Amino acid sequence: MADRDKPLIVQGDLTLLLETESPGYLAARDAIAPFTELVKSPEYVHTYRVSHLSLWNAAATGRTAAQVIEALSEHSRFPVPQTVIREITHYMGRYGTLRLEKDGSDLFLTAREPLALAEARTVKSAREWLLDDMGDGRIRVDGRFRGHLKLALTLAGLPVEDVAGYALGDPLPFRLRETTLGGKPFAPRDYQKEAAEIFHASGSAKGGAGTVVLPCGAGKTIVGITSMNLCQCHTLILTTNVVAVRQWIREILDKTDLTEDQVGEYTGQTKEIKPVTLATYQILTYRQKKDADFPHFDLFAARKWGLIVYDEVHLLPAPVFRVSAEVQATRRLGLTATLVREDGKEGDVFALIGPKRYDVPWKVLESQGWIATATCTEIRLPQSLNRYVEYAQSTDREKVRIAAENPGKSAVVEQIIESHPGESVLVIGQYINQLQELSAELDVPLITGATPNKERERLYKDFREGRMRVLIVSKVGNFAVDLPEASVMIQISGTFGSRQEEAQRLGRILRPKEDGRQAHFYSLVTRDTREQDFAMHRQLFLIEQGYQYQIEIREPGQ
């Protein structure tokens, strides 16, 4: 029997159709979010997908197949197809079937069912690391390739739960401050503390590797620091750029009793190795020639690290994945606002850093006041007839840039700035020439990758402290920039259809404002071009989190 009041249609191919105009839309969306991914979002019907990886990540956070099936059944207009029930039961049942366990100094692959071990033996890419069949439901494993084995089996549809434990690392006793250096009371928020505790799992082999997913502005750095405090060991923290490294250092010194002698920076400018060391992905992946070794990979063995923190883990470069496969005996914490990777490497994060251990929907934290309420507006504007002719005659790649660099965007940027008097405005884009022209027109500073770090920090400080109301940034502003009072973001161009970039950019303005005002995110898009198509894809993750984009269509001359 069909229940026409319910908004969800579950299809046999594991896709879900969700009607946005239904009264039950919001409840259904929130119910399916932990185990699905939004695929497309036209006005009235959104399409979601249930994947093996989304089910395994749900299982890793403690959800069961019965709970997933119940969530679908509760909101589904028609009975959930038996094929879907079987697939969910099968794939969620696979998580934890294969386990890596330690016995003395030896590492073993074990299974709840003998058939699972036999299946693992058939995976060609895993065979060289599976050594002796012990005949008791265990296969001895080459411990040097613990990560390689997990990745090979995960990609073959056989996720491995790693409970082999971790090296303790050199001890580093320290405490969290109750009052910051600035004199403000400090204690981790409940969700930050809970995320760290679930990751650490009281030091047991059940914890120690995994990813915490929280919105930008929700304090992922505090989750990292709280996790360090639980581990009490030498820690290596990897992040996106020098500005982020220094923000981490400031937070660590402000929120803990660690001293400057104990916290070091390892970047292109400074190479200190201390009990807590912060490095950039850029320095780790530096090499003189394409076929040369990575000289700074020695950092992973420079000390007995007990914890490695991967900030913005969704941006992890491929070479760091490779070295991470070799440090599986070290606790690993990934921090991110979204597990979405446009290169499809979510499975690598799952296998090598660890499954999702904790997440909180963006709208939940917004409702609790931990991140700012935000409105999202897409402004579609025309371009001149001459540019449309040029656009029509260009290659696909050229079309993207022509649309993105629409000169008509400059006037709209000025209008938006004028409509938010007294507010701090960030303008962000992809193309340097476009940004330079806008910077000259508005007579406001521009930060790009070529801006020296000292100058960047000065400009960010002036913006943060209110001496500058408008700042233009290139894609270097996508992440790890702490600008708490920024309340307006104007996006004039972006990286194709990148969902993660859209989320990171909104995140720049989500820190709660002292006066409680809303955040406003504007995306300027040229009508009837590929940029409009890319914009629809960029917005998927944020729509999945409950944000709605208001569409404003500008006519020529507006």
Each residue of 208-237: pLDDT tens digit? Answer: 999 999 988 899 999 999 999 999 999 999
Task: Lowest mean pLDDT of 1-10, 114-123, 244-253, 381-390, name the range.
Answer: 1-10
**Residue whose C-alpha is closest to residue 201's, from 175, 231, 225:** 231
pLDDT in tens, 149-199: 999 999 999 999 999 999 989 999 999 999 999 899 999 999 999 999 999
At residue 510, φ and ψ (nearest 5 deg) are -95, -5
Say if 441 falls within a structural domain. yes
pLDDT at 482: 72
Say if 2 falls within a structural domain. no
pLDDT at 11: 96
% the chain with pLDDT above 70 = 99
pLDDT at 480: 57
The last residue of one of the domains, among 78, 94, 110, is 94
pLDDT in tens, 481-538: 677 779 999 999 998 889 989 998 998 899 888 788 899 999 999 999 999 999 999 9
Q: How far apart are CA 122 and CA 493, in angstroms?
A: 47
The alpha-helical segments, DSSP class H, found in 188-317 are 190-200, 220-231, 242-255, 281-284
| Same-domain pairing of 349 and 377 | no
pLDDT at 426: 95
Q: How far apart are CA 129 and CA 141, in angstroms?
A: 6
| Same-domain pairing of 81 and 118 | no
| Same-domain pairing of 156 and 228 | no
pLDDT at 558: 65
| CATH number for position 409 | 3.40.50.300
Query: Please, are residues 61 and 358 in contact by the beta-carbon 8 Å criterion?
Result: yes
Residue 399 has pLDDT above 60, yes or no: yes
pLDDT band at 477; cut points 50, 70, 90: confident
Mean predicted confidence (pLDDT) in 389-416: 94
**Residue whose C-alpha is closest to residue 546's, from 335, 371, 366:** 366
Round to the nearest angstrom and report the end-to-end CA distance of the chain: 52
| Same-domain pairing of 106 and 90 | no
pLDDT at 206: 85
Overall domain count for the chain: 4
| Same-domain pairing of 327 and 461 | no
pLDDT at 41: 84
pLDDT at 541: 87
| Same-domain pairing of 373 and 306 | no
The last residue of one of the domains, among 51, 72, 94, is 94
Average pLDDT, the chain: 93
| Same-domain pairing of 500 and 543 | yes
Global pTM reads 0.90
pLDDT in tens, 323-368: 998 899 999 999 999 888 888 889 999 999 999 999 988 888 999 9
Say if 184 falls within a structural domain. no
pLDDT in tens, 419-428: 999 999 999 9
Sheet with 486-491: strands ordered across: 446-447, 470-473, 424-428, 486-491, 519-526, 374-381, 549-553
Residue 2 has pLDDT above 80, yes or no: no
In this structure, what DSSP letter does residue 375 have? E
pLDDT band at 322; cut points 50, 70, 90: confident
Bridge partners, residue 76, by sequence = 8
| Same-domain pairing of 112 and 73 | no
| Same-domain pairing of 63 and 134 | no
Query: Please, are residues 334 and 213 in contact by the beta-carbon 8 Å criterion?
Result: no
The last residue of one of the domains, among 344, 360, 376, is 360
| Same-domain pairing of 347 and 390 | no
pLDDT in tens, 272-299: 999 999 999 999 999 888 888 899 999 9
| Same-domain pairing of 320 and 210 | yes
Tokens of 267: 């970047």
Mean predicted confidence (pLDDT) in 374-401: 94
Say if 171 falls within a structural domain. no
| Same-domain pairing of 320 and 443 | no
Say if 185 falls within a structural domain. no
Say if 175 falls within a structural domain. no
Say if 181 falls within a structural domain. no
Say if 475 falls within a structural domain. yes
Residue 1 has pLDDT above 70, yes or no: no
Tokens of 43: 């006005």
Residue 84 domain boundaries: 8-94
